[in-house]
């Protein structure tokens, strides 16, 4: 008995949807009944450095399952490993300690089936709990980083950066600045001007006749850094319509 770190095979339905997107760029995951991480890695390597590479890498990542803890060995798809668990406590905390205890227990004496079953039942509950707390910890870490980045960008309002589009929906375009800070362009403030094409990962500004797709780069200007919305806001830079002196920095600290 042990607590394993498992990363299950991708859902075939999700990979079928992924294939529809990849086909637009001339790529395809063959034989969905025999999925192997090498198939995805090959496409990643072929598209690294290409204009569409950023989008393709994002799509592949989103099609993967999330790693979790389990009381059964289900393998680790991402590592192409049949057996995988965490052993480097205190880096991985409780799961490692459980493995250490079981190893010590097995060395002491032979473990009977009844005792194994007892541990397996207990580890099922523990695995669910530590997987949940891991997700909570990840979210807290993400939020704490966002808070510090918002603090950092408070005096950068009005400055321009080169940004790469990393995601979008009907209301927002997500971008990553050249310094790797994630920012948001809230298109819902001018929603009537924008048309979102979810199938082709594209959003079009009809007013200015400009289309954006994931992986595109553009020049943006920082217009706000909001603790309330936990966002750093930008708009596409235009010398014709942006007057730096009239940009009002949001005072979120008071």
Residue-wise pLDDT for 69-106, tens only, equals 999 999 999 999 999 999 885 665 789 999 999 999 88
Q: Is the entire prediction scored with pTM above 0.75?
A: yes
Q: What is the pLDDT of residue 180?
A: 87
The share of the chain scoring above pLDDT 70, in percent, equals 91
Average pLDDT over residues 184-195: 81
Q: Which two tokens stand for residue 113?
A: 């089936």
pLDDT higher than threshold 90 for residue 193: no
Summarize the confidence of residues 162-183 as an average pLDDT: 90
* Alpha-carbon gap, residue 186 to 166, rounded angstroms: 14
Average pLDDT taken over every residue of the chain: 88
Residue 244: pLDDT above 50?
A: no
Is a pLDDT exceeding 90 seen at residue 127? yes
Instruction: Report pLDDT for 21.
Output: 87
Identify the pLDDT of residue 189.
Answer: 72
Domain residue limits, the chain:
4-148, 157-246
Task: Report the helix count and the strand count for the chain, using DSSP H and E.
Answer: 5, 10
**Among 59-73, 80-94, 238-252, the least confident range:** 238-252
Does the domain formed by 157-246 have CATH 2.40.50.140? yes
The confidence band for 167, taking pLDDT boundaries of 50, 70 and 90, is: confident
Residue ranges with strand state E in the chain: 4-6, 68-70, 160-168, 172-177, 182-186, 194-197, 202-205, 210-213, 217-226, 231-236
Helix H or strand E segment including 126:
helix 113-153
DSSP 9: P
Percent of the chain that is helix, strand, coil (3-state, to 5): 40, 20, 35
pLDDT at residue 40, as a whole number: 95
Q: Is the pLDDT of residue 242 over 70?
A: no
Give the β-pairing of 182-186 and 68-70.
Answer: unpaired
Euclidean distance between CA atoms 168 and 186, whole angstroms: 10
List residues bridging with 235 in a β-sheet.
221
């Amino acid at each position: 008995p042990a607590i394993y770190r498992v990363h299950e095979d991708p859902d075939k339905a999700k990979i079928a949807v992924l294939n529809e997107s990849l086909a637009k760029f001339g790529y395809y995951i063959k034989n969905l009944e025999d999925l192997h991480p090498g198939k995805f890695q090959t496409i990643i390597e072929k598209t690294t450095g290409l204009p569409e590479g950023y989008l393709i890498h994002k799509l592949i990542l989103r099609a993967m399952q999330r790693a979790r803890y389990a009381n059964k060995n289900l393998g680790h798809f991402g590592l192409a490993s049949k057996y995988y668990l965490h052993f480097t406590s205190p880096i991985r905390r409780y799961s490692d300690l459980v493995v250490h205890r079981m190893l010590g227990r097995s060395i002491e004496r032979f473990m009977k089936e009844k005792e194994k079953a007892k541990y397996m039942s207990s580890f099922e509950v523990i695995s669910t709990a530590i997987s949940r707390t891991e997700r909570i910890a990840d979210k807290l870490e993400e939020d704490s980083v966002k808070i510090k980045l918002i603090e950092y960008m408070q005096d950068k309002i009005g400055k321009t950066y080169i940004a790469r589009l990393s995601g979008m929906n009907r209301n927002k375009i997500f971008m990553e600045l050249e310094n790797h800070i994630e920012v948001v362009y809230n298109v819902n403030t001018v929603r009537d001007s924008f048309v979102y094409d979810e199938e082709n990962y594209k959003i079009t500004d009809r007013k200015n006749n400009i289309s954006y797709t994931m992986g595109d780069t553009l020049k943006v200007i920082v217009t706000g850094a909001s603790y309330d919305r936990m966002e750093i806001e930008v708009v596409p830079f235009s010398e014709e319509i942006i007057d730096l002196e009239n940009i009002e920095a949001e005072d979120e600290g008071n």
